[in-house]
Amino acid sequence: VFADPEFAPSDEELGGHAYCIYLADRKDSERGYEWVILDWCYLQDPEVPIEKKPLARDGGQGGAYREIWFTFNDEYSWSQSGFEVKVGRISQNRTAKKDEVLAPLEDILKKLASDELLKVFKKYGIDIE
């Protein structure tokens, strides 16, 4: 996924776009393999054979593909830079118990409801003690 101000114009790059990439066998490359972008909606290039698609490291078609935020497959996800997980997470071999998920959600919903009620009361001049 990458930032693209054309699709979400603003002073900051807030938009994003998801597309497929694959590790292609490229005999002309020093490494022998190169990441290639397959995108059928942002910059369609169906006339370009897969083996001729521009490389992801060069920005893909027309250099239009910018900074990658993260990548993932059916098992893992990767960040392009380091980050810290500040709250608990579910490990690969563990599933969350229903209560572990619902208790925090219940607290969040109560807080949201309370905030909204206070706004309504204030709007209509109702004081709550």
The predicted-structure confidence for 38-71, as pLDDT tens digits, reads as follows 877 777 778 888 777 877 777 777 777 777 777 7
The predicted-structure confidence for 82-113, as pLDDT tens digits, reads as follows 766 666 665 666 666 666 666 777 787 788 88
Separation between Cα atoms, residue 127 and residue 121, nearest integer Å: 7
What pTM was computed for the model? Answer: 0.44
Residue 103, class by beta-carbon neighbours within 10 Å (0-12 exposed, 13-18 middle, 19+ buried)? exposed
Token pair 């490359």 is found at: 29
